[in-house]
A and B are shown apart, each in its own frame.
Chain A
Amino acid sequence: MKTFDLATTSLRDINQALHEQAVECTEREWKITGAKGDHNLVCGLDQALSVDIEGHAGYYCAGMNKKAHVVVHGNVGQGVAENMMSGSVRVKGEASQSAGATAHGGMLVIEGNAGARCGISMKGVEIVVKGSVGHMSCFMGQAGALVVCGDAGDALGDSLYETKIFVKGSVASLGADCIEKEMRQEHLDYLTDLLNRAGIDEDPASFKRYGSARQLYNFKVDNVSAY
């Protein structure tokens, strides 16, 4: 394992060293210590690395991640794993707003709560939040799945496309064109598998499923009050 201490090594040098692993992988396991809310930690990785971050990360931690498996042993700021393509990111603490924004693939697990706009414009990522999520989560979600083991804030799934949403607790309100849907066996099977892969011990049968009513997919003047 290779270890970097942010107290003595610059963010630029750390990210550069990790990026060079995409060209020639010399070390699979990495640890970063001394994180005190530093922004843009380990963003742009493109190799199947295992990266542990000790401390709290700032904005855009593991942004645009590909292939790497990142664990943050603390809290994260805005936009963790934004636009992730593959691999995984696990946050042991809490996450600020826009967690997993626009992410195309991979898995984001947040063991604490996530702030507003969790999964905004998500495009295929699987997000599992052990706690609750804030308002406007999954806004314009296009694909993938958002699982919330706690409660969801206002306007969940507003203007949703095809993202699947599962919530165990309460939903303050649903956004435009987001409706509760029947939880069929195929959805239970998928959720069971997803929770297992996320390492979250919850009963899939205790969740409700939400999705797009698909009424706003094409503009109709009769729906004008929804816009």
Chain B
Amino acid sequence: MSDKDLKVNPGLRESATFDALTMQEIRRAADTGIYDIRGFGAKRKLPHFDDLLFLGASMSRYPLEGYREKCNTQVTLGTRYAKKPIVIETPVTIAGMSFGALSANAKEALGRGASEVGTTTTTGDGGMTPEERGQSTKLVYQYLPSRYGMNPDDLRKADAIEVVLGQGAKPGGGGMLLGQKITDRVAKMRTLPMGVDQRSACRHPDWTGPDDLAIKILELREITDWQVPIYIKVGATRTYYDVKLAVKAGADVIVVDGMQGGTAATQEVFIEHVGIPTMAAIPQAVQALQEMGMHRKVQLIVSGGIRNGADVAKCMALGADAVAIGTAALIALGCNHPKWDEEFKKIGSAAGYYDDYHEGKDPAGISTQDPELMKRLDPATAGHRLANYLRVLTLEAQTLARACGKSDLRNLEPEDLVALTVESAAMARVPLAGTSWIPGQGY
């Protein structure tokens, strides 16, 4: 209900249970007989990093000079087994997003932006494109259940391999790329007929549990002669157990993707109702690593709803070694930009609200395979915008770390944080502000 309606008749009361959006969805389901599919990530309000605050230094802690003293941001990933670990200059990496879901220009732009600041970008379902490999100095190759476009040549070209078990937007679900985006090039890369609805499997085809996965990881190491790090990516659900099993299976790096993480397309019911918030997953992952004596030995990358340097710093204070961004990176490229608002309206959306990535009509030229729309995204310009954004994230995180007296982002610790709400205190396992109370950890 709009403010205008309320002014006209302030006696009208909207149901909290059956609000306008809920009613609209019931009508839509009744009209079409099919669940709603969309992209983006969870849109409901969730406990998130905004519910945490840093305790800047004062008498009891000694801050670092913001404009003079060094605060290290470099992180090495894959130190457990790989002969060639990856060194990234900022702990902010680019999450896996597929060519197919994204245009070739968007993938190239992600590579350009990441390379400009010395971090990694990641392939997605559908394989590695020359544009992305060519522009990415550090490229992580995703190994997914579908194995679309998977081949040993690309595997050996990668700087790291990420075995994907799930993603935060849809843990337990496979991928989806609807027919309107299966162009000739996408179809060939995925060995599919043009125009079919492509359903990526939710389980890997040749292993069924963590013991099998350990052998699979050894196969990948053998094929790549133990050169590159192997990551395991999980959607955040039973994170404590998943991380323990991932360590046991032999991961060099574990990626935990919270439910705020984005997707190119899946059922709305999946996006909004499966998984746990990113903030709740990190302490579980860190606890698992610490109990196994592997914290900092197996690196932890966290993703899902990271927007600014404060989010980066909070993830690292909770124990992450690095973070990954997806949705925010696309916004930096130009996704949902207001300059396309008129065109968004023509397809029934609006700038800032567009999430029908699966339809392939993105006016910004990012989540599309339409040649004319793709041209709107200049990879060099968009890549530079992403690099700028990554620099800001890094600078902001450094600013907060220095204020807490830390000369390295990874020196941030849970003791630097307090929570604004009981829920966030319980999930992040830090005290409620002004108290020493961590719900669930004694009284």
**A interface, CB within 8 angstroms of B:** 11-12, 15-16, 19, 39-40, 43-44, 46, 58-60, 63-64, 66, 78-79, 82-83, 85, 98, 101-102, 104, 117, 120-121, 123-124, 139-140, 142-143, 159, 161-162, 217-219, 221, 224
Contacts and interface: CB of A to CB of B under 8 A. Distances in A.
B222 A15 contact: yes
B291 interface: no
B218 interface: yes
B153 to A, nearest CB: 8
A85 B127 CA distance: 15
Contact of B192 (A39, A120, A161): A161
Given A43-B223, A124-B191, A219-B34, A64 B155 contact: yes
B157 to A, nearest CB: 13
Contacts of A161: 192-193, 196
Contact of B201 (A46, A85, A121, A221): A121
A162 to B, nearest CB: 6
B205 A102 contact: yes
Contacts of A123: 147, 191
Contacts of B201: 121, 140
Contacts of B244: none
A11 B33 contact: no
Please classify the interface of chain B as helix (H, G, I), strand (E, B), loop, or mixed, using the class held by over half of its residues.
Answer: loop
B206 interface: yes
A217 B195 CA distance: 8
B207 interface: yes
- Give the interface SS of chain A, mostly helix, strand, loop or mixed: loop
Given A58-B215, A83-B150, A120 B225 contact: no
A44 B223 contact: yes
A121 B192 contact: no
B206 A60 contact: yes
B197 A217 contact: yes
B222 A98 contact: no
A218 B150 CA distance: 24
Among A43, A60, A159, A218, the one with the most B-chain Cβ atoms within 10 Å of its Cβ is A60
A101 B196 contact: no
A142 B182 CA distance: 14
Given A40-B219, A123-B191, A224-B33, 17 more contacts: A12-B226, A15-B225, A44-B152, A44-B224, A59-B215, A60-B216, A63-B223, A78-B206, A78-B212, A83-B151, A85-B152, A98-B205, A102-B206, A104-B151, A218-B179, A218-B195, A218-B197
22 contacts: A12-B222, A39-B219, A40-B215, A44-B152, A63-B223, A64-B151, A64-B155, A66-B152, A78-B206, A78-B212, A79-B207, A85-B151, A98-B206, A120-B205, A124-B191, A142-B191, A143-B191, A159-B199, A217-B193, A217-B196, A221-B32, A224-B33
Contacts of B205: 82, 98, 101-102, 117, 120-121, 139
B147 A60 contact: no
Contacts of A66: 152
B146 interface: yes
Contacts of B224: 44
Interface string B17-53: 0000000000000001110000000000000000000
B218 A39 contact: yes
Contacts of A12: 222, 226
